Amino acid sequence: MKTNCSDALYHRAVKLMPGGVNSPVRAFRNVGRDPLFIDHAKGSYIYDADGNKFIDYVCSWGPDIFGHAYPPIVEAVKKACEKGLTFGACHEGEIVLAEKIISHFPSVEMVRLVNSGTEAVMSAIRAARGSTGRDKIIKFEGCYHGHCDPLLVKGGSGLMTHAVPDSTGVPKSFTEHTLLAKYNDKRSVSDLFETYPNEIACIIVEPCAANMGVVPPQKGYLQYLREISKKYGALLIFDEVITGFRLSDGGAQKFYGVNADMTVLGKIVGGGMPLAAYGGRRDIMECISPLGQVYQAGTLSGNPAATAAGIAALTAIEQDPYLYDKLEIRSEKLETAMRKAGLNVNRVGSLLTAFFTDKAVTDYESACTSDRGKYAAYFNFLLENGIYTAPSQFEAMFVSAAHSDEDIDITCNVIEKAGKMLH
């Protein structure tokens, strides 16, 4: 595999951007190499600056559920751009996308469009605090909700104590109202509510964790969160930035049969363009400006190009009644190949992670037992054999409708060889 052009681009980039990247997840430091620079992508394939071709299972970290440069989405964006990139004013596309989101999520009665998952989470928490009049929030170790200050706290910090910021530049006072619980651990949640019964505004959780690798909720866990939040008058927020329209056309809420008070969406809802959303019960959302006192704004929120992409993506989902069945079949084949290769794999729908540990991965602590060195060897073997996956142990593998039977067969063969190499 040639990397001359990528190497040259990286040497230019490191002089101009921190680490040579605009998001840390793009750096390949965890797998012991410099990042590839991508030139273009089409369908299930991604091509780097040196002309190397890879079967892509990153899919822009999830939104490309129909593959790269999906013609209906590209055409919709082109038409929108011809009418103007952005207006900073109301337009019909915002309404159409909002209607589609609400039609798929019964728990969402009103929605606000924003530009990123981080912005959506930050705004949803502000709305939860504003509508309840409470300050404290519960998050879970290993669940990532973007880089807003109150949620950048150390995984593994002691329960029942104020969280410690996990990034310099975040004052301790910014996270003093953030409480940490253990994912899939009911007692850790009940202890917090018993200690702060009238102070917790909300629980925020990835209903299926995908940022410590894929870690599904144990049976009944989401329903437990639903019940205990109601008991104490707190709101339940599902961060469905990854799971929304990925696990089903109604996200994790439809997949698991549990509704939240508020929902955060991203990735697919923008069709690959920068767009996210947060929504929920009408009484909560009516607390947001200009109706209420919870302020949130954005010049480019719901812009014509991004909403056009989102509308096209959701329309394509609606028009393919067998989409999730096809994704399930392809993903199951990959899971089977991983298990045959002796790998420890978690899968939910079209999300997969191979963990390099002998322990069952059910939470942040067990995920951290993974051998990152072995994952790096696994990643590099796949990359050298034309398979592009996440350059980190603690990410998901995404399967798209563009992955052909041949793509899956090739990938399974490479995975089986990787297993033999590692054992």
Which residue among 267, 363, 375, 407 is the active-site one? 267
Strand ranges across the sheet with 397-398 = 344-348, 351-355, 397-398
DSSP conformational letter for 214? -
The C-alpha atoms of residue 1 and residue 385 are separated, in whole angstroms, by: 9
Residue 65 token pair:
């559920």
**From 144, 183, 278, 388, the catalytic residue:** 144
Q: Going from the N-terminus, what domains does the chain have, and what CATH number goes with each?
A: 4-69+321-422 (3.90.1150.10), 71-319 (3.40.640.10)
For 143, the token pair is 């669940």
- According to the model, what pLDDT value does residue 166 have? 65
Rounded Cα distance, 225 and 259, in Å: 10
Q: What is the pLDDT of residue 8?
A: 97
Q: Which residues of the chain have pLDDT under 70?
A: 154-166
Name the β-bridge partners of 162.
none
Residue 162 burial (10 A CB sphere; 0-12, 13-18, 19+): middle
- How many contiguous H segments (helices) and E segments (strands) does the chain have? 13, 14
Whether 355 contacts 344, CB under 8 Å: yes
User: Nearest CA to 422 among 370, 367, 386, 368?
Assistant: 370
pTM value is 0.95
Q: What is the DSSP letter of 152?
A: -
Which amino acid, one-letter code, is at 235?
L
**Residue 410: its pLDDT value, please?**
98
CA nearest to 37, candidates 58, 21, 56: 21
Q: Known catalytic residue: 221?
A: no
405 is catalytic: no
pLDDT of residue 168: 76
Nearest one of 348, 399, 315 to 101, comparing CA atoms:
315
pLDDT of residue 20: 96
- Report the C-alpha gap between 116 and 282 in whole angstroms: 22
- Selecting among 48, 239, 363, 407, the annotated active-site residue is 239
Please give the helix or strand (H or E) that residue 347 lies within, else none: strand 344-348
